Structure 1
Amino acid sequence: MQTQTTRTFASAASAAALALFLAACGAEGGSSGSGPGSGSGSLAPDLVVAGTHWTIGAVTVDGRRSAAPDGARLAFGKDGRASGNSGCNGFGATVDVQGDTLTVSQQGITEIGCPGDRQRFEKDLVKAFDGELKGRQEGETLTLASADGRNSVELTEEPSVPLRGTIWKIDGLVSGGTASSLTPGTGGKARLVIGADGRVSGNLGCNNFGATARVEGKKLTVEGPAATTRMMCTGTQMQLETQLYEILDGPLTYRLDHRTLTLTDARGKGLTATAAPAGEPSGATGGTSETTGEPSGTTGGTSETTGGTDGQNQPSAG
């Protein structure tokens, strides 16, 4: 009992000494102007942007705000780099985060010709997303603004998407490890959906298709050849359709990265696709395919399809 009392007194004495020491430190900090309450010598918490993906909502330059076009997005890697798309061209940059300040150094942009409104937005984005920017994050939104507040970029965090049930907009082809954009004139119709019901369906750039598929590990096996509708297609659409038709037949290795999907076959041929925004239609406009039950892509009635095992189900221009 005596030992316990002695320890209690010692603890009380230590606590009193510690309180006096902290009070003295606080007095020194107050007189020197460098304490926590003075605002100097302390940093705001670092912006947590590494490994995040964002939709660009709007850009303000010299006080003039412009809404972003569809497809404008920005991603921050874990290696100090950022990449994105203006809604037309892809761009890259290096970023350094110190507290609530993000310093951006532009690293280049592709040079695809853009329509006038997208080109104007792109110029504003390049100007606003550069130099020292103060970040303000509220829930799922992040605003990066210049010190004078005249330039800013408004971002909304993008959630990741699952392999199944997502509308994947096909935006590139892969050959031997190199990805390339689709040929201009293909119309942006090509897309696919991997259903939970064991089917893959979508549009090959002109005609709709459907086939049975299964997912095992990192493999997606399309049990083709796929059944397709038989609409008239332009030359560029037909070329893309033939390439996609050949890819979507047999075992494919898939890689899912947030909102991007890559499918490649054993030859190194494949496709890249990006998740469509929520609420965007799958691409079918009506009708029903006789063979697959998939939408035919026509504006009414039913569309003739090809299918079966007779080898005649290659997409046709007529």
Structure 2
Amino acid sequence: MDKHRLTLTVLTLLPLAVACGTGSGAGGSVSVAPSTGPSVTGVHWRVDSLTADGITRKAPGSAYLRIDDHGRARGNYGCNDFGAPATLRGDRIDFGPAQATEMACDQAPMAFEAAFSRTLADGSLTAAVDRDALTLTTGDGDRVRLTRQGDAPLYGTRWRITALVDGQVASSLPAAAAGKAWFTLDRKTGTASGGLGCNRFTAKATVRDGHLTLGSLRTTRKMCDGSLMDTEKSIGERLGRPLAYRLEHRGISLTSENGKGIDAVAEP
């Protein structure tokens, strides 16, 4: 989701190619020539595979790329979320210096992440759109294949919680909670269910006038290590308040009146 928030657990990766042309601030600029066909911007692109050095790697389900109309790219490398300025000129894309979260994942997604981040850093990439498919190609012939994904509906989507929000600050969940904190809403039963990081929960759910209100959370009683229990407590406290929700393509923000809330993304 395109928000101007400070993420606490970030690091600066190896610099991506400096965006060419004139940019306005850190966001760079976007200029798409009419000859490029269907737009690359404003689309949630799921990363399907990466071919580099003659080796094709299947992407983890979390990997995606999205470029907005203001020159900002956001996505997930396979484990960690990232953001970077992006400049489009004709069928060429240049990505500026990136920042990413610092989570650790299993070996396979981390290996894909390393290759994907290097590919985006490899100078200008050629973008070719064919209906719902996008291919990004480096000057050396390495290729990233992506597929357009539609907007996620509020109901029936498994929303994976990615950050805890306090005002303009969003803190990434600890690595141990990756994939374990999520929720889904069932319109027919009027309920919410999901995971808090350690325990599962269910609750009555009321959606009205852009707000989501959950009843008392009914949870399992499992004990986990300290970081998971702390995360669970923080999520539970946030879900225990009326929350204004905002959907943005495949992301959702839930925010209470005191500025605390959660960010989540739709799982594939």
Structure 1 length normalisation: TM-score? 0.67
5+ unaligned residues in a row in structure 1: which ranges?
1-41, 278-318
**CA deviation after TM superposition for structure 1 residue 157, in Å:** 0.8
- Cα 1:95–1:235 change in 2 (3 A) is closer
- 1:111-260 pair list within 5 angstroms: 112=102, 114=104, 115-129=106-120, 130-147=122-139, 150-186=141-177, 188-196=179-187, 197-223=189-215, 225-260=216-251
- Cα 1:230–1:94 change in 2 (3 A) is closer
**CA deviation after TM superposition for structure 1 residue 147, in Å:** 4.4
Partner of 1:272: 263
- 1:2-151 pair list within 5 angstroms: 44-99=35-90, 101-110=91-100, 112=102, 114=104, 115-129=106-120, 130-147=122-139, 150-151=141-142
Partner of 2:12: none
Identity %: 38
**Paired residues of 2:198 and 2:222 also in contact (CA < 8 A):** yes
**Paired residues of 2:204 and 2:214 also in contact (CA < 8 A):** yes
Taking only aligned residues, the RMSD between alpha carbons, in angstroms, comes to 2.2
Partner SS for 1:117: helix
**CA deviation after TM superposition for structure 1 residue 236, in Å:** 2.1
Partner of 2:7: none
Matched to 2:137, the amino acid is A
Matched to 2:197, the amino acid is G
**Paired residues of 1:91 and 1:107 also in contact (CA < 8 A):** no
Partner SS for 1:110: strand
Higher-helix-fraction structure: 1
**Paired residues of 1:95 and 1:102 also in contact (CA < 8 A):** no
**Paired residues of 1:200 and 1:210 also in contact (CA < 8 A):** yes
Measured in 2, the distance between the counterparts of 1:276 and 1:93 equals 22
**Paired residues of 1:89 and 1:109 also in contact (CA < 8 A):** no
Partner SS for 1:242: helix
Measured in 2, the distance between the counterparts of 1:187 and 1:89 equals 10
User: Number of residues paired by the alignment?
Assistant: 233
Q: 1:67-98, CA deviations, whole angstroms, 9 ceiling, x for partnerless residues?
A: 22231110010112222110123333333333
Partner SS for 1:66: strand
Q: 1:110-134, CA deviations, whole angstroms, 9 ceiling, x for partnerless residues?
A: 2626444334322322332243332
Partner SS for 1:250: coil
**Paired residues of 2:78 and 2:110 also in contact (CA < 8 A):** no
Matched to 2:84, the amino acid is A
**CA deviation after TM superposition for structure 1 residue 53, in Å:** 1.0
- Cα 1:132–1:236 change in 2 (3 A) is closer
Compare CA radii of gyration and give the structure with the larger one. 1
Measured in 2, the distance between the counterparts of 1:120 and 1:199 equals 38
Structure number with the bigger relative contact order (C-alpha 8 A, sep ≥ 6) is 2
Matched to 1:265, the amino acid is S
**Paired residues of 2:180 and 2:195 also in contact (CA < 8 A):** yes
Measured in 1, the distance between the counterparts of 2:114 and 2:69 equals 26
**CA deviation after TM superposition for structure 1 residue 48, in Å:** 0.8
**CA deviation after TM superposition for structure 1 residue 174, in Å:** 0.8
